[in-house]
């Protein structure tokens, strides 16, 4: 790891430092992008506003969907995560018609590791990657270029107020929900409302049935979940609609435990002991940004921050970083003078990003205001409790391993056949 030095004066120095890529944000998306671009041969500056290398995202249920596990494998992080105690698991969903459980041979396993362990693991790996320089405790405050011109780097400020310019052929905004980089670049933004809030914490004991698989309760419209994870802990979370906010504000732990205990087929929450404070987030609109501009790419939540109910943001942070590095790694490593090739790579990244995410993002947005299940969802869910194949399709869709179009094309005819079969059984009985 190379800790870049800070100039002593509190003004921007005359001579800027040059990198192939400067990445703003050293969490999942930024660290993953730094590892992959560094390995591709690029010289990378990783800028993170928090000075502590052990810093981690505080409000997150940490469940990484199966669709992102290959990205972790490619980064060489799967085994270190397992060594750190990560738990592989699928999920089962409670609905008012019963539990939807994919058959064992069709289950796709995601992975669970607390962010307090995961984030430092990724960041340490990034900072140990040859070609990656870290600027911990530095905040990106401005872009070099931008506002209609090609972006050519960022201005960063250290904790003493000193500013410096980091010039790069590619600037990567990995600065999360509310991305300042996206705002400074003036990229197109789409925001849609979200009608729930989230509270949760880690518990010792009282794991849900069938642990280590996660359990989700879709109580239409209330929602709760238990995610078993490392160290024998379970993260229990609730995402109720906003009218239940006052009781959570009054006493978050009591409200969370009550909501979990009142669930149908509840987890043994009274046998569990909270080992952390209950943390929550109240405003979580879906925010989508145009993911590229000349000289600029956005990854992770900076590009697309969706309703966390579906547990996909961490996976998408890792996957978008992977797609970006695949698209621009070679032109960046080829050195200066290849801006056309870089722009071609950015266009490829945009296409891959849109193909992987936008369909899912629209489905997530539609459910996000806190509405009840629609007739199509009721038709499919009520059939899936009776049919392993349909449950497996829902699992593939929920883990974002297949597109919404493909899921619908498989699920509707299957659900119709299951309902017809159930009707015949009922008549025979």
- Which parts of this chain interact with ligand FAD (CB under 6 A)? 24-30, 47-50, 57, 59-64, 139-140, 174-177, 180, 198, 281, 284, 300-302, 308, 311-315, 317
The least CB distance from residue 56 to ligand FAD, in Å, is 8
Based on its alpha-carbon atoms, the radius of gyration of the chain, rounded to whole angstroms, reads 23
Nearer to ligand FAD, 349 or 414 (CB): 349
C-alpha dihedral sign at 364, 228, 242, 59 = negative
User: Contact, 329 vs 37, CB < 8 A?
Assistant: yes
H helices of 225-299, in order, are 245-250, 252-261
- Which CB atom, from 183 or from 389, has the smaller least distance to ligand FAD? 183
- DSSP state, 176? -
| Least distance from ligand FAD to the Cβ atom of residue 203, Å | 16
Give the integer Cα–Cα distance in Å for 14 and 35: 30
Using alpha carbons, list the distances in angstroms from residue 332 to 22, 294, 336, 342. Answer: 11, 14, 8, 7
Beta carbon of residue 301, minimum distance to ligand FAD (angstroms, whole number): 4
Query: Which residues share a beta bridge with 167?
Result: 18, 153
For residue 241, count CB atoms less than 10 angstroms from its CB and return exposed for 0-12, middle for 13-18, buried for 19 or more. middle
CB count in 10 Å sphere of residue 265: 11
Q: Is-contact 176 28, C-beta < 8 A?
A: no
H or E element, residue 17:
strand 17-24
- Give me the least distance between CB of 138 and ligand FAD, in Å please: 6
Kindly tell me which of 60 and 415 has the beta carbon lying closer to ligand FAD.
60
Q: Which helix (H) or strand (E) holds 351?
A: helix 339-367
Q: What angle do CA 326, 327, 332 make, to 5 degrees?
A: 95
Nearer to ligand FAD, 50 or 419 (CB): 50
Q: Taking the complex as a whole, how short is the minimal distance between the CB of residue 387 and ligand FAD, in angstroms? A: 27
The residue (of 88 and 389) whose beta carbon lies closer to ligand FAD is 88
CB of 422 to ligand FAD, least distance (A): 33
Q: Which residue, 114 or 410, is less far from ligand FAD as judged by CB?
A: 114
Closest separation in Å from C-beta 270 to ligand FAD: 24
**Residue 326 or 343 having the CB closest to ligand FAD:** 326
The residue with tokens 């642990």 is: 211
CB of 55 to ligand FAD, least distance (A): 7
Nearest residue (CB) to ligand FAD, 202 versus 331? 202
């Amino acid at each position: 790891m190379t800790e870049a030095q800070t100039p002593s004066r509190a003004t921007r120095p005359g001579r800027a430092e040059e990198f192939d890529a400067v990445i703003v944000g050293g969490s999942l998306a930024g660290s993953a992008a730094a590892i992959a671009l560094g390995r591709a041969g690029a010289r990378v500056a990783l800028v993170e506003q928090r000075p502590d290398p052990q810093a981690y995202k505080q409000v997150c249920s940490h469940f990484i969907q199966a669709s992102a596990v290959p990205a972790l494998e490619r980064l060489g992080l799967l085994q270190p995560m397992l060594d750190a105690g990560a738990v592989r698991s699928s999920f089962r969903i409670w609905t008012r018609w019963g539990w939807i459980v994919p058959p064992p041979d069709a289950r796709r396993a995601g992975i669970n590791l607390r962010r307090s362990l995961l984030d430092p693991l990724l960041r340490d790996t990034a900072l140990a990657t040859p070609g990656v320089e870290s600027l911990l405790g530095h905040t990106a405050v401005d872009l070099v270029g931008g506002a209609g011109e090609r972006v050519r780097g960022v201005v960063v400020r250290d904790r003493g107020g000193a500013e410096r310019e980091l010039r790069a052929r590619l600037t990567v905004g990995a600065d999360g929900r509310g991305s300042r980089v996206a705002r400074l670049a003036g990229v197109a933004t789409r925001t849609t409302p979200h009608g729930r809030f989230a509270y949760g914490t880690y518990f010792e004991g009282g794991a849900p049935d069938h642990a280590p698989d996660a359990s989700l309760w879709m109580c239409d419209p209330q929602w709760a979940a238990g995610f078993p994870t490392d160290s024998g802990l379970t993260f229990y979370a609730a995402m109720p609609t906003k009218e239940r906010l006052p009781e959570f504000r009054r006493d978050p732990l009591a409200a969370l435990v009550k909501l979990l205990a009142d669930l149908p087929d509840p987890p043994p929450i009274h046998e569990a002991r909270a080992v952390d404070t209950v943390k929550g987030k109240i405003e979580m609109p879906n925010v989508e940004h145009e993911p590229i501009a000349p000289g600029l790419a956005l990854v992770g939540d900076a590009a697309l921050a969706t309703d966390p109910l579906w547990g996909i943001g961490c996976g998408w942070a890792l996957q978008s970083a992977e797609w970006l590095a695949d698209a621009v790694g070679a032109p960046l490593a080829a050195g200066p003078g290849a801006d056309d090739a870089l722009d071609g790579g950015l266009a490829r990244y945009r296409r891959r990003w849109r193909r992987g995410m936008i369909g899912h993002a629209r489905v997530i947005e539609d459910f996000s205001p806190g509405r009840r299940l629609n007739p199509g969802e009721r038709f499919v869910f009520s059939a899936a409790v009776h049919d392993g194949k349909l449950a497996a399709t829902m699992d593939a869709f929920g883990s974002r391993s297949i597109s919404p179009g493909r899921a619908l094309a498989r699920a509707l005819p299957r659900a119709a056949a299951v309902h017809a079969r159930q009707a015949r059984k009922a008549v025979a009985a």
